[in-house]
Amino acid sequence: MNYRSNVWTPFTTLVIKEFNRFIRIWVQTVLPPGIMMALYFAIFGKLIGERIGEMDGYAYIDFIVPGLILMAVITNSYANVVSSFYQAKFGRYIEEILVSPVPNWVILAGYVGGGVARGMVVGVLVTIVAMFFTDLQVHNYLVTLLVFFLTSVLFSLGGFINAVYAKNFDDIAIVPTFVLTPLTYLGGIFYSIQLLPDFWQTASLANPILYMVNAFRYGLIGISDINIMWAFVIILFFITVLASFSMRLLNKGVGLRS
Amino acid sequence: MPALQITNLSKTYRNGPQALKGIDLTVESGDFFALLGPNGAGKSTAIGIICSLVNKSDGKVEVFGNDLDNDLLGVKRHIGLVPQEFNFNQFEPVIEILINQAGYYGIERSDAAQRAEKRLKQLNLWEKRNTIARNLSGGMKRRLMIARALVHDPRLLILDEPTAGVDIEIRMSMWEFLRKINEEGTTIILTTHYLEEAENLCRNIAIIDNGMIIENSSINVLLERLQQEIFVLDIDTAVSEAPAIEGYSVTLRNAQSLQVTVDKASGLTRLFCALAEQNIEVLSLRNKQNRLEQLFFEMTRESRSPVEESAE
């Protein structure tokens, strides 16, 4: 047995399986964010946005496009892993993987890979949709792609932890509805935190999504409310924490082994 | 080297009963081994531990010399598991289920596709390769799980009630297939509630009851312990009462059917002679109860609840 058969083949098998899964049900997974974002761009970007005017010196639609793209990446990366892993538990076909000689970190990487794949597919689709509404420019490709990828990894890990603890289908809806969506909306997608009173500006800094949205906005149009380096430090910090915690759950078999 | 060596294995579930109470078990390489026991006896817990789906509380498990504690991945590579309940993605095509399973064992997709084809053909599922799994019949789903468990050519195949709910024809063809792969060298451990299945297929047997192994020997040695057998005889002439035959206990089931309890030492020849002397010709003969079933029933009698007892 070598690295290829121990690690690479099981990893690619998991990612391909996950990719095929969400593509098979593309009407539920890929199409809705495309339609939803088209509505956001049309209503908030064009209809309302033109009355709002400029934000930080940019047309309102140009200001909100980066955040909306990243919001689609966040929700879809999270949703893919939480639903897929929980359904595998619920249908007991997670046992296919648990009885196989797949190291735990490869299981985690495979599911995160699936989440990132969906985040990427949806992110690209939403970007294409955005191009119908505005001339999209990229200020810094490296920052854009890194934030895009790392944010997707981070929220895939979040979805994994949610799925491990979930005991029913309600449990996989609670975090996205009551935690993820509010944090995303309050993460500076639609406004610059400079508009907020001092207290709320400071409070907003506790929201990690703010850093990701601003870093991504910097990558696309070159403006940010926060220091880009801080954004990367925070993203990498949360990835490290969530990945370590996920591995601990897998090694202990929480929710998987009795 | 034994295929499976279990030493002092115990399992206590959190806030639950002690499912296994320090069992010892050895299954030799190449064996066709039956693990029997009533519901809740600990069979599935033992299998779960061997396949690392259940964490053990204490004890040692070795599969072909690989220790579960020190070489988990090595243990997993040797095992193919056919669980009691369907545990595949019901929305995936049949062939994808097999190719993915092979991938988890490090088999490249091109090789996996060939292996999947071989196993699906062996189990008469090739025509259904592109069918979504939930559209298969119950028997096909059972065979799919066997094909999946074999796609990486395991040395030890564990089947947890593989023929539950399948019709007799499919069951027979599955028996034939399992015999064949056992002859080719795969060690098989089988749990089943069809004791006829265990008697027909297996060479050695362990009976687990209340978390303990209460019997572990060859099927032949076990069957030798049977002191009496009960036969049902269909006869050509209607009789109004059971004929009296010395040394045999004969009762009337109906006018053309007798039930005879035969001591092992008495044999059947004298019974047939005595019936012939009374002008009763035997048309057919069958065991009233499967022999292993009779022994199993006696051995596990103590652990059965009064409800089960009265129902039987």
Q: pLDDT in tens for each of the 258 residues of chain A?
A: 577 778 999 999 999 999 999 999 999 999 999 999 999 999 988 889 888 888 888 899 999 999 999 999 999 999 999 999 999 999 999 999 999 999 999 999 999 999 999 999 999 999 999 999 998 889 999 999 999 999 999 999 999 999 999 999 999 999 999 999 999 989 989 988 888 889 998 999 999 999 999 999 999 999 998 999 999 999 999 999 999 999 999 999 998 888
> Which of B274, B286, B276 is closest to B233 using CA atoms?
B286
The pairing of beta strand B32-36 with beta strand B187-191:
parallel
Q: Is A222 helix (H, G, I), strand (E, B) or coil?
A: coil
pLDDT at B69 over 90: yes
- Residue B235, beta-bridge partner list: B282
pLDDT of residue A46: 87
pLDDT tens, position by position, B291-309: 667 677 677 766 655 444 4
User: Contact B106/A4, CB-based, under 8 Å?
Assistant: yes
- Closest Cα in chain A to B152: A100
Which of B11, B14, B53, B57 should we substitute to test contact with A (largest number of A Cβ atoms within 10 Å)? B53
E-strand stretches of B130-256 = 156-160, 187-191, 204-209, 212-218, 228-235, 249-254
CA–CA distances in Å: residue B72 to residues A1, A100, A103, A200, A235? 14, 10, 10, 52, 34
Burial A153-167 (b: 16+ CB within 10 A, else e): bbbbbbbbbbbbebe
CB B43 within 8 A of CB B208: yes
Verify whether the Cβ–Cβ distance B76 to A4 is below 8 Å.
no
Please give the pLDDT value at position A95: 95
Residue B148 sits at the chain A interface (C-beta within 8 Å) = yes
Whether B184 has its CB under 8 Å from any CB of chain A: the answer is: no
pLDDT in tens, A175-196: 999 999 999 989 989 988 888 8
Are B85 and A92 inside 8 Å of each other by CB?
Answer: yes
Q: Calculate Rg over the CA atoms of chain A.
A: 19
Q: Is the pLDDT of residue B179 over 80?
A: yes
Q: Is B260 helix (H, G, I), strand (E, B) or coil?
A: strand
Residue with tokens 């064992």: B105
What pLDDT digit, counting tens, does each position of A134-173 carry? 988 899 999 999 999 999 999 999 999 999 999 999 999 9
DSSP summary character for residue B303:
G
Shortest CA distance from A1: residue in chain B: B106
- Encoded tokens for A239: 């990835």
Closest to B299 in 3D by CA, of B33, B26, B46, B38: B38
Query: Residue B308's pLDDT is what?
Result: 45
Query: A17 vs chain B: nearest CA distance in angstroms?
Result: 7
Cα of B208 vs its chain's centroid, Å: 13
Q: What is the pLDDT of residue B304?
A: 56
Contact B87 A101 (CB under 8 A): no
Q: Label residue B230 by pLDDT band (50, 70, 90).
A: confident
pLDDT digits (tens, 9 = 90+) for B122-146: 999 999 999 999 999 989 999 999 9
Q: Return the H-helix or E-strand segment holding A15.
A: helix A9-24
Q: What letter does residue B243 receive in the DSSP assignment?
A: P
Whole-angstrom Cα distance, residue B245 to residue B235? Answer: 15
Closest CA to A29 of A68, A106, A90, A82: A82
Q: Which residue has the higher pLDDT, B260 or B187?
A: B187
First to last CA, chain A: 29
Contacts of A172 (CB under 8 A, 6+ apart): A82, A83, A86, A162, A163, A166
CB burial string A137-149: b at 16+ within 10 A, e below: eeebeebbebbbb
Residue B279 has pLDDT above 50, yes or no: yes
Q: For chain A, give the percent of residues with pLDDT over 70.
A: 100
Q: How far apart are CA B225 and CA B238, in angstroms?
A: 35
Per-residue pLDDT, B312? 35
**CA gyration radius for chain B?**
23
User: Distance, in angstroms, between A5 CA and closest chain B CA?
Assistant: 4
Of A17, A93, A100, the CB nearest to B105: A100
Least confident of A194-203, A232-241, B61-70, B148-157: A194-203
| Among B45, B69, B75, B104, the residue to mutate for chain A (most A Cβ within 10 A) | B104
Q: How would you class B127 by CB atoms within 10 Å of its CB: exposed for 0-12, middle for 13-18, buried for 19 or more?
A: exposed
Identify the residue among A93, A104, A254 best suited for mutation to test binding to B, counting B beta carbons within 10 A and taking the highest. Answer: A93
Cβ–Cβ under 8 Å, residues B215 and B221: no
pLDDT band at B311 (very low <50, low <70, confident <90, very high): very low
SS3 B233: strand
Among the listed residues A178, A195, A150, the one whose alpha carbon sits nearest the alpha carbon of residue A60 = A195
Q: At what angle do helices A60-90 and A208-221 cross, to 10 degrees?
A: 130
Task: Tell me what pLDDT residue B11 has.
Answer: 95
Q: Answer yes or no: do B53 and A257 touch at CB < 8 A.
A: yes
CB < 8 Å to B106, chain A: 1, 4-6, 9-10, 101
The dihedral of CA A240, A245, A248, A254: what is its sign?
negative
Name the closest residue on chain A to residue B53, using Cα atoms: A257
Which residues in chain A are closer than 8 Å to B47, comparing Cβ atoms? none
Residue whose C-alpha is closest to residue B41's, from B21, B19, B10 = B19
Across chain B, mean pLDDT equals 88
Phi, psi at B174, each rounded to 5°: -70, -40
| Cα-based distances in Å from A158 to A60, A115, B118 | 31, 10, 40
CA A14 to chain B, closest CA, distance in angstroms equals 8
- Interchain CB distance below 8 Å, A24 and B91: yes
Domains observed in chain B: 4-220 (3.40.50.300), 225-292 (3.30.70.1560)
B77 touches chain A (CB under 8 A): yes
Interface test with B, best of A7, A9, A21 (most B CBs within 10 A): A9
Nearest-Cα residue of chain B relative to residue A25: B91
Q: Which residue does chain B place closest to A4, by CA atoms?
A: B106
Q: Is the pLDDT of residue B265 over 80?
A: no
Query: Strands, DSSP E only, in chain B?
Result: 4-12, 18-27, 32-36, 58-63, 66-67, 79-82, 156-160, 187-191, 204-209, 212-218, 228-235, 249-254, 257-263, 282-287
Q: Give the distance from residue B201's alpha carbon to the nearest chain A alpha carbon, in angstroms.
A: 25
In this prediction, residue A213 carries a pLDDT of: 95
Query: Both ends of chain B: CA-CA distance in Å?
Result: 42
Angle at A247 between CA A242 and CA A248, to 5 degrees: 95
Strand B156-160 with A54-55, pairing: unpaired
Output B148 or B288, whichever has higher pLDDT: B148
Which one of A88, A91, A100 has the shortest CB-CB distance to B76? A100
Q: Which residues of A touch B (CB under 8 A)?
A: 1, 4-6, 9-10, 12-14, 16-17, 20, 24, 88, 91-93, 95-103, 253, 257-258
Residue of A nearest to B85 (CA): A92
Instruction: Compute the distance between CA of residue B88 and CA of residue B133 in angstroms, rounded to an integer.
Output: 8
Q: Which residue of B has its CA nearest to A88?
A: B89
Contact A257 B54 (CB under 8 A): yes
Report the percentage of chain B scoring pLDDT > 90: 54
Q: Which residues in chain B have their CB less than 8 angstroms from residue A24's CB?
A: 91
Q: B52 in contact with A at a CB cutoff of 8 Å?
A: yes
Please state whether beta strands B282-287 and B228-235 pair in parallel, antiparallel, or not at all (unpaired): antiparallel
